[in-house]
Amino acid sequence: MKPSFSKKMRYLLVLIVGFISLYFLSQPVSFVRTNPENPLAENGVLHLEEWDFEEAGVIRLDGYWKYVDGELLQVDEIINNPKAEIIDVPSFIKGRGMGTYYLEVKLPQNKADFPRILGIKTESIRMAHTLYINDQKISSSGTISTENQRGSAGNTPYAAYFEPKEDQLEILIHVENQTFVDMGIGESIYLGTSNDISLLDNLTFSIHIGLCMVLLLFSMYHLTLYILRGCGGGKFILFSAIYFFVLMVSILFGGDKILLQVYPDLPFTFAYKIKDLFGFGSVLFFILSMRELERKLISNWMVVTLVSPLLLYMVVIIFTPYPYYSLFIHLAWTIAIVILLVIISRLFYFVFKGISRIKRNELITLIIAFSFIILFLVLEVVDSALSLGYTHEYGMVGFLIFFIILLAIKMSNLMTSLEEVQKEANHNELAYLNLQIKPHFLYNSLSTIISLCYSNPHKAATLVQNMTIYLRLILENNQKGLMIPLEKEIKLIKAYVEIEKTRLPYLQVEFCIDEGVEKEYIPSLLIQPMVENAIRHGIFKKGKAGKVQVCIMKDETSISIKVEDDGIGIDRSTITHLLNHNQEDKGFGIRNIQNRLEKMHGAIFSIHSEVNRGTKVLIKWPIRKE
């Protein structure tokens, strides 16, 4: 019994599966945000005397740190410095310059199981910094300016490990920004055991690598499809391939800055130029791909209006230094997000009005997928500007999940369309084959009527009456389709037999039919041609009394049809000749039956014959259970 789910219910189940997948695949991302009971620093001091690193896990060094603007100080110079202010971390400081962050961390005391090795992980500290713990340099990203040398930007995530010698940590961070619109600790700094920090570092790196790999696969899929279709599969496929590729590149240079971690000597400002250029390029190719997907969605003037500001800013990125174009980076991304929202709103309008040439389930899934992309961009821009600690990776994971669902839906719709086309093609071919049988039979019957009109008008009238019955049944069958009740086929056969008996009085035809089988459906004119062959090629050529037996039997799964005669039989080479599809001059009825049965799944056709003993034709037809 097939499931009776409607199309809407099946689609709803697919969406539910998508959101469940999003939940489970987002669990590794959720780990990055650690323990919700995280204590906060107050007045430059974070109390962790009661914190169990083994049980509670990684902690975020969030809260209120001490900060001195415009100076790079040591620990003893900042503790009682009157210029020191209390600043919320994480949060960016508007403008450029330098400064010193300070936080004292009180560690657990007198615990035998206290971890000997701790780890610390940074995410985003703009734009260059050096990290000290208890007066020892732990790590850095970029270089701080000195009297003799100008510094260089960094801001690459990293994890560092150290052995605490005391029951407190004095964390000092020198920061400098000469390139971007803001500076400082923009995302949480994590502290934990070496194992937990290593896991966290590997996890964030792997998440971004995984996202890039999936995007690359999507790009390869669309590009391969475009090439295999002879570069004529439409610009949508090509633009989609480019879109996924440029989006992947922007993530490689942004986010966890994978390429900067792999190639630390790569100039940071150059890497950020590539990230921003490809980031806005992804929005550009998204617009172009949507334009090709649905022409009514974006008119020509809309394309020009939406693309122009993006192209202009991309030119600015190429030809101006990073410190200059980055002044407008948040505004540019806000415009890009507004453009995407306009397109998504237009898609919603198309769904509501039902005016798109795209199937409704594809369009809704497309909206959901690209809504996650917009969520990804919004969270990234807001987090970059306001340092709110949002996990924007959720948006990218959601996009990938629902784009995969979109591909599955498109494949399902395509398969359904192909099945409908194939079904229609089979129907037309079978109708054509039926039309070939009917003239063949009519020609033989009309020849007999013409002959009887001269020799026996009464028999001719009877034959015409039988022909009328036959033709009426044929016309009814054509109106109802290619599948008819078996009882209609039996009436056709009996009408035909009466016609042939007019010319062959010594003909005997016996029927052996199981009770109840008459209501089952079979293809029209499936049995009659076999009876015709038995009479005309078996009994007629025998030249004396002969018998044809028609047996129709039914079991739980199939209908067995046997037409057997005691005529002249057929030699083995002729049977092979009749069943060989490469032969064009074989028996017309046999060819028709064989061709039609090959279109029906599970049907079996066979011929068994002995010369001068007779012929037996067998058909096994599976019962269709709806």
Count other C-beta atoms under 10 Å from residue 530's C-beta.
Answer: 27
Residue 381 has pLDDT above 90, yes or no: no
Name the band, by pLDDT with cuts 50, 70 and 90, for residue 462: confident
Cα–Cα distance measured from residue 345 to residue 573, given in angstroms and rounded to the nearest whole number: 71
pLDDT at 468 over 90: no
Question: Average pLDDT of 5-15?
Answer: 75
Distance CA 245, CA 278 (A): 9
Q: Which of 29-33, 191-195, 265-269, 294-298 has the lowest mean pLDDT?
A: 29-33
CATH 1.20.1070 fits 7-32+205-418, yes or no: yes
pLDDT value at residue 390: 55
Q: In 10 A of CB 106, how many CB atoms?
A: 15
pLDDT at 392 over 60: yes
Q: Which of 4-8, 157-161, 179-183 has the lowest mean pLDDT?
A: 4-8
**Mean per-residue pLDDT, 154-161:** 90
The alpha carbon of residue 589 and the mean position of all alpha carbons in its chain are separated, in whole angstroms, by: 47
pLDDT category, 584, cuts 50, 70, 90? very low
pLDDT of residue 427: 66
Q: What is the pLDDT of residues 207-237, one digit of tens each?
A: 888 889 999 999 999 999 888 887 655 788 8
Identify the weakest region by mean pLDDT among 97-101, 215-219, 250-254.
250-254
Domain boundaries, the chain: 7-32+205-418, 45-188, 499-622
Percentage of the chain exceeding pLDDT 90:
25
Question: Looking at residue 430, what is its pLDDT?
Answer: 57
Task: Give the pLDDT band (50/70/90) at residue 165.
Answer: confident
pLDDT above 50 for 3: no
77-91 average pLDDT score? 91
CA distance 450 to 453: 5
Return the higher-pLDDT residue of 527 and 476. 527
Of the chain, the percentage scoring pLDDT greater than 70 comes to 87
* pLDDT band (50, 70, 90) for residue 1: very low
How far CA 623 is from CA of 519, 520, 522, 602, in Å, comes to 11, 8, 9, 10
Cβ contact 257:157 at 8 Å? yes
Mean pLDDT across 614-626? 82
CA distance 423 to 427: 6
**Of residues 184 and 165, which shows the higher confidence score?**
184
What's the confidence (pLDDT) of residue 386? 58
Average confidence (pLDDT) over 559-578: 88
Whether the predicted pLDDT of 460 surpasses 90: no
pLDDT band, residue 29 (cuts 50/70/90)? low
pTM above 0.75, yes or no: no
pLDDT for 477: 60
What is the model's pLDDT at position 271? 87
Q: Indicate if the pLDDT at residue 70 is higher than 80.
A: yes
Mean pLDDT rounded to a whole number for the chain: 83
What mean pLDDT do residues 33-61 have? 84
Query: In sequence order, which ranges of 456-570 are alpha helices (DSSP H)?
Result: 457-480, 486-503, 528-533, 540-542
**DSSP-assigned beta bridge partners for residue 559:** 554, 621
DSSP string, 414-479: HHHHHHHHHHHHHHHHHHHHHHHHHHHHHHHHHHHHHHHHHH-HHHHHHHHHHHHHHHHHHHHHHH
The model's confidence at residue 593, banded by pLDDT at 50, 70 and 90, is confident
- List the beta bridge partners of residue 98: 176
pLDDT at 329 over 90: no
* pLDDT in the model for residue 547: 92
> What mean pLDDT is predicted for residues 369-376?
85
45-188 folds as Jelly Rolls (2.60.120)
pLDDT tens digits, 420-459:
887 777 666 656 655 555 565 677 678 878 877 878 788 7
Q: Give the residue-averaged pLDDT of 236-242.
A: 90
- AA identity, residue 82: P
- Which amino acid is present at 624? R
Per-residue pLDDT, averaged over 572-581, amounts to 76
Q: What is the mean pLDDT of residues 131-139?
A: 94
Q: Which residue has the higher pLDDT, 203 or 5?
A: 203
Average pLDDT (192-219) is 89
Please compute the mean of the pLDDT values over residues 157-161 and round it to a whole number: 92
* CATH number for the segment(s) 499-622: 3.30.565.10
> Rounded to an integer, what distance in angstroms lies between the CA atom of residue 490 and that of residue 180?
89
> Does residue 2 have a pLDDT over 50?
no
- Closest by CA position to 210, among listed 405, 16, 29, 380: 29
> Tens of pLDDT along 336-350?
888 888 888 888 888
On whether the CB atoms of residues 330 and 181 are closer than 8 A, the answer is yes
